[in-house]
Chains A and B, each alone.
Chain A
């Protein structure tokens, strides 16, 4: 195995992140459970984080990592609030899927 080829470059990481991101997007589109949709969003955020770190390394700039830190905080805050909202609505109608929440339309 040729070492020159063997070392994954930033591009690899970025592509991996892109695929992960796309899977997350697809997940949001196809899943009906709001919780799982939200998990998919977490996937997307992780893809972004991965990109940031890879880019930070490529650029030799720590700023990308700092950003990841903030993203994590945001993700945490989002999870708290998001789950709060979901709990408050799913408590009343536990079987509800995202498709059932369609009172508002048109």
Chain B
């Protein structure tokens, strides 16, 4: 079918819907930023957005290209130093939901943003963990947004940048971590959630027009589907308008200094 929206838009909308008005979010750049601000501009006006640059309760009118864009500070309630952000706010346990993504994810939602190939002699050197290792363990829960591709959804990731459910089951807790970890993975094809016991990622909802075969084809391990597999409601016109408006404002703004 030919939808009036892109798979990336569907992913962003699905992530936005998963957020509530009571959430305090640690937001990353890209899809998470779009999703969090879409939520803020639609059903969750009081959601608290925090960026690792130190900006607390920021309400950007355009999406930041970098984690420290001026827009984030200018629209924040307050801006604290980066040590305070990581010590008092993230480690302090004040964040309900953190967003992560990566170049590789495995069936237990462990993420790799460090290297493809061996660490000492990488095939591809990625930017690295940034805030991810502690976001992954300090936030109440983690949402992961990624484009659903076989080379990203792999049986074994080359480097564990940030802990998901480890080896599955209660392995996460064995690392001394008491937070929930990844509770949702939102892709451009579907929504996955960890199985309550095994913690293996399971497809719980397919986006409109997406087939099981597509998901199987795009996943590097034998992917499981929920018995009560749902279809993700398509983005509403209102959701698309708000998302496209902020993206248009962003495009215009980021060109300006050229």
Say whether A associates with B: no
Q: Please list the residues of chain A having a beta carbon within 8 angstroms of any beta carbon in chain B.
A: none
